[in-house]
Amino acid sequence: MLDHRDILETINMIEEECLDIRTITMGISLFDCRSDDEDRLCAKIYDKIMFHARDLVKTGADIEKEYGIPIIHKRVAVTPVSLICGGLSRAGVLKVARTLDRAAAELGINFIGGYSALVQKGCSNGAETLISAIPEALAGTERLCASVNVGSTKAGINMDAVARMGRVIRRCAELTADRDAVACAKLVVFANVPEDNPFMAGAFHGMGEPETVINVGVSGPGVVASAIRRAGDCDLTEIAETVKRTAFKITRVGQLVAKLASERLHVPFGIVDLSLAPTPAVGDSVAYILESVGLEKCGCPGTTAALAMLNDAVKKGGVMASSHVGGLSGAFIPVSEDAGMIAAARCGALSLEKLEAMTAVCSVGLDMIAIPGDTPESVISGIIADEIAIGVVNTKTTAVRLIPVGKAGDTVRFGGLLGEAPVMPVSRYSPAKMIARGGRIPAPLQSLKN
């Protein structure tokens, strides 16, 4: 039975503390759209997306209105395009990109994910063609998001792909230099990529997923920060318990929305991703949560320990609230999308190296980080390799979303959810010789679990 105090507390979370459902993401399989004729393939892709997702935006708006729960984004994720375009030319793969972007525009969604390739062990013809087209595809579309998985605990790290992605990111930056390299903000390089992630830019519809599915991503950094402040002068055990209880309540809201959307759209319910996903809005920040624990500034000594506690408590609270927790689920630490992270980077408390250390205990990785526009391709690849290694060795998802633009100390502004970012300095010492060796870094010993 619902307690009136819980209802009032949830209302306060929504009205005062920025609690929202960050996204309802519909996954759609495109395997039955395959065709060697690029026009036929694009027509089938467009028709299938429009048929299944035609009521997605309306349904989200109806739930938002009826229950008073803000639902910020409605999105679509599709089967990794590299798996269905093996027979296409580069021009054909670009036509698919424009088709996906057109469908997203007509549905009224802000992003569509799945322009993706899985190359942790090597490149198929389809993956090779798609990766070569990513810069032009992202530069020429508004809503399309791309991702490439270059490593896994089971396979190791494909260093040829890591080197390739350094070049791809640089090319994305060059093609959108007049727009603060915005194409790079729509491209993620992964290790151990989850196949049910509802958050962009890394969402795609995995091979083990049903024909269609609804995945929901919740948020609530402001709610957690407020709960910690209310807890007052208590020890860290009590702080962890407070975060766990708060995460439980947040996840229950996500579970409700996911079930409602699933029923109304006649699509199976997949997972709730209970990640604390920040925004540029004041108060809606993971950095502010860490500072509420007692850090003078996010990035100072103790930050990694505080983040580890936060991430663990969020997961523990979430799994008690839902039997279908998935995606990334934990704490995101993007720089440009988090007002507290932006402030910490600007004052020098937060460095790229400290962010890398923090990613060993959080849910994603080096996310939405602006680096100098003249950063060499080999250095970009080295940063990717370091982050992917953290994921592979620790059997966790890590990701890299780097934006080469401007000079160290500049600020780039994307607007909206993508926010703004100070350009962070990068070591100029080169890993070029190592990156040029290529090959694969073998899977770690912990991959042998059979």
pLDDT of 376-415, one tens digit each?
Answer: 999 999 999 999 999 999 999 999 999 999 888 888 887 6
List pLDDT tens digits, range 135-160.
999 999 999 999 999 999 999 999 99
Q: Which residue has the tokens 């399309």?
A: 144
pLDDT band of residue 3 (cuts 50, 70, 90) is very low
Best-predicted range by mean pLDDT (149-153, 284-288, 368-372, 446-450): 149-153
Query: What pLDDT score does 69 carry?
Result: 83
CA distances from 31 to 62, 209, 241, 297 (A): 31, 11, 44, 48
Q: Is the pLDDT of residue 122 over 90?
A: yes
**Structure token digits, residue 68:** 């008073």
| Closest to 391 measured CA to CA, from 360, 369, 366, 367 | 360
Task: Please report, for residues 103, 115, 177, 194, 400, the alpha-carbon distance to residue 129 in angstroms, rounded to integers and kept in the order given.
Answer: 22, 12, 24, 23, 21
Residue owning tokens 């569509």: 112
pLDDT tens for 258-276 read 999 999 999 999 988 887 7
Handedness of CA 368, 371, 376, 380 (dihedral sign): negative
Q: Amino acid identity of 220?
A: G
pLDDT at position 220 over 70: yes
The residues, any chain, with a CB within 8 Å of residue 405's CB and separated by 6 or more, are 173, 177, 180, 181, 184, 370, 371, 372, 373, 412, 423
* Residues 217, 416: Cα–Cα separation, whole Å: 18
As given in the structure block, the two tokens for residue 42 are: 């694009």
Over residues 299-322, the mean pLDDT reads 89
Please check the confidence at residue 8 and state whether its pLDDT lies above 60: no
Which ranges of 110-235 does DSSP label H, i.e. alpha helix?
125-139, 159-175, 221-231
Residue 144: the pLDDT is 97
Confidence of residue 431 (pLDDT cuts 50, 70, 90): very high
- 59, with CB counted inside 10 A (0-12, 13-18, 19+), is buried
Tell whether the model's pLDDT for residue 74 goes beyond 90: yes
Judged by DSSP in three states, 325 sits in strand
Strand 71-78 and strand 420-422: the pairing is unpaired
pLDDT surpasses 80 at 9: no
Question: Is residue 18 predicted with pLDDT exceeding 80?
Answer: no
Look at the block and give the residue holding tokens 């459902």: 21
Report how far residue 270's alpha carbon sits from residue 444's, in angstroms, rounded to the nearest whole number. Answer: 30
